[in-house]
Amino acid sequence: MGPLAGLKVIELAGLGPTPFCGMLLGDMGANVLRVDRLAASDLGVDFPGEYDLRNRNKRSVAIDIKKPEGLAILMDLIGQADILLEGFRPGVVERLGVGPEDCWKRNPGLVYGRATGWGQDGPMAQMAGHDINYIALTGALDRIGLAGGPPVPPLNLLGDYAGGGIYLAFGLVCAVLEARQSGRGQVVDAAMIDGVTSLMTVFHAFQQLGKLDPGRGANLLDGGAPFYSCYETKDGKYVAVGAIEARFYNTMLGLIGIDPKDLPDRNDRRNWPELRRRFEDVFKTRTRDEWSRLLEGSDACCSPVLALEEVASHPHNRARSLLVEVGGVRQPQPTPRLSRTPGYILQTAPQRGQHTMEALADWGVHGSVIAAALQAGALTASK
């Protein structure tokens, strides 16, 4: 089911962008086989199995690829795959015997996806790092935060998932389409610094045009503009205001009870502090939900700032089934939504090695090879 039905993907278990990319492909119908280690390792947060939502729509096999019997099974799988995903430091998989050149000897059409923070080359390629480090080097982190305060990490959404996982998925689909024409695979080098730099395209333009104040919280889209910011309400919650265009701004003013003639010109940045004070005073006169009832349904471009536990119950989100419950766990729907071949959540996240026996058999690995690997301790089949 889904637009990627029939696509066979091997995901070498890793951090951040790799499992997220595998989830995106699995949501759209790809047959994703996650190759886990035999034992738990330091892969970040230790999720209880069904709550590691990044692993939904995947099956798990546990293989010790450092043993010859385990490596042989992995190479059998690679011989049938369309895509392999890995997220190790440069050179690691080559030392394990499953680098791109090793794999292409077995499967010339394999698309080889690599997710890293710094990229496959350059003086920092071998350095450890995390989302916060990668986005720091791109200039993105410097742009996020309150005026006069330090940069604020936007969770790990920007590097791991937007700049890494989503760009990796896009590159893989591009390369698979090309491989179907040429018969040849290629490497997709998805470095988070590359992806985040791409996301910053318009801000590079602003900076070169002299339209970007170097300070944080001083620009149109970083919370500096009083008509593109968040305001505390009477109950200590917040509303988000995004009334950039003049017509939306005037709609907002009318609904919150301010005559535009009583305000200074918003296009003069010297007036922004006064406008902010006026809006702060007004929004504190009602609760967040009172403002929501007044403003939602209009073109005021105002929204309640919801806590995660509130997202599913908002009327609009509920109407679109933004979150669904699968296996007793609430989770986001597959996205984007396709009209004819949509994605589905067909399987909850597996336990490590849950599908070792059935998945290897389904992928055509001979029973005697599986038995020999079990005997050698190169496989684990969880119950």
As a whole number of angstroms, the distance between CA 28 and CA 105 comes to 29
Whole-model pTM: value is 0.94
As a whole number of angstroms, the distance between CA 70 and CA 379 comes to 7
pLDDT, residue 331, reads: 96
Is pLDDT above 70 for 47? no
pLDDT, residue 9, reads: 98
pLDDT, residue 371, reads: 92
pLDDT, residue 19, reads: 97
Is pLDDT above 60 for 107? yes
- 87 pLDDT band, cuts 50/70/90, is very high
Is pLDDT above 80 for 90? yes
Angle, helices 17-27/167-182, rounded to nearest 10 degrees: 60
Four-residue CA torsion sign, 264, 266, 271, 276: positive
Mean of pLDDT values over 120-131: 96
Mean of pLDDT values over 154-172: 98
Is pLDDT above 90 for 43? no
pLDDT, residue 45, reads: 56
The amino acid occupying position 167 is Y
Buried-state track 172-183, b at ≥16 Cβ within 10 A, e below 16: bbebbeebeeee
Closest alpha carbon to 15 in 199, 186, 171, 168: 168
Is pLDDT above 60 for 49? yes
> What residues does each domain of the chain span?
8-199+326-380, 228-232+238-304
As a whole number of angstroms, the distance between CA 36 and CA 351 comes to 10
As a whole number of angstroms, the distance between CA 251 and CA 255 comes to 6
Put residue 104 in one of left, alpha, beta given phi > 0 → left and psi -120 to 50 → alpha.
Answer: alpha
Count CA atoms closer than 13 A to 330's CA, side-chain side: 10
Is pLDDT above 90 for 39? no
Active site residue 46: no
Is pLDDT above 60 for 102? yes
**8-199+326-380 has which fold?**
Rossmann fold (3.40.50)
Is pLDDT above 80 for 40? no
Q: Is 62 helix (H, G, I), strand (E, B) or coil?
A: strand
Active site residue 366: no
Question: What residues have CB less than 8 Å from 35, skipping those under 6 apart?
Answer: 10, 11, 12, 13, 61, 62, 63, 65, 74, 77
pLDDT, residue 41, reads: 63
Q: Is 30 helix (H, G, I), strand (E, B) or coil?
A: coil
Residue-averaged pLDDT of the chain: 95
Mean of pLDDT values over 25-37: 97
Is pLDDT above 60 for 383? no
pLDDT, residue 202, reads: 97
**pLDDT tens column, 226-248:** 999 999 999 999 999 999 999 99
- 15 pLDDT band, cuts 50/70/90, is confident
**pLDDT tens column, 248-267:** 999 999 999 999 999 999 99
Q: Which of 130, 213, 299, 314 is catalytic?
A: 130
Q: Which of 160, 194, 222, 355 is catalytic?
A: 160
- 380 pLDDT band, cuts 50/70/90, is confident
pLDDT, residue 377, reads: 94
User: In which residue are the tokens 């050698």 written?
Assistant: 376
pLDDT, residue 48, reads: 73
- 1 pLDDT band, cuts 50/70/90, is confident
To the question of domain 228-232+238-304 being in CATH 3.30.1540.10, the answer is yes
Closest alpha carbon to 340 in 28, 23, 22: 28
Q: Are 117 and 160 in contact (CB under 8 A)?
A: no
Mean of pLDDT values over 95-117: 97
As a whole number of angstroms, the distance between CA 275 and CA 299 comes to 20
Closest alpha carbon to 81 in 24, 32, 12: 32
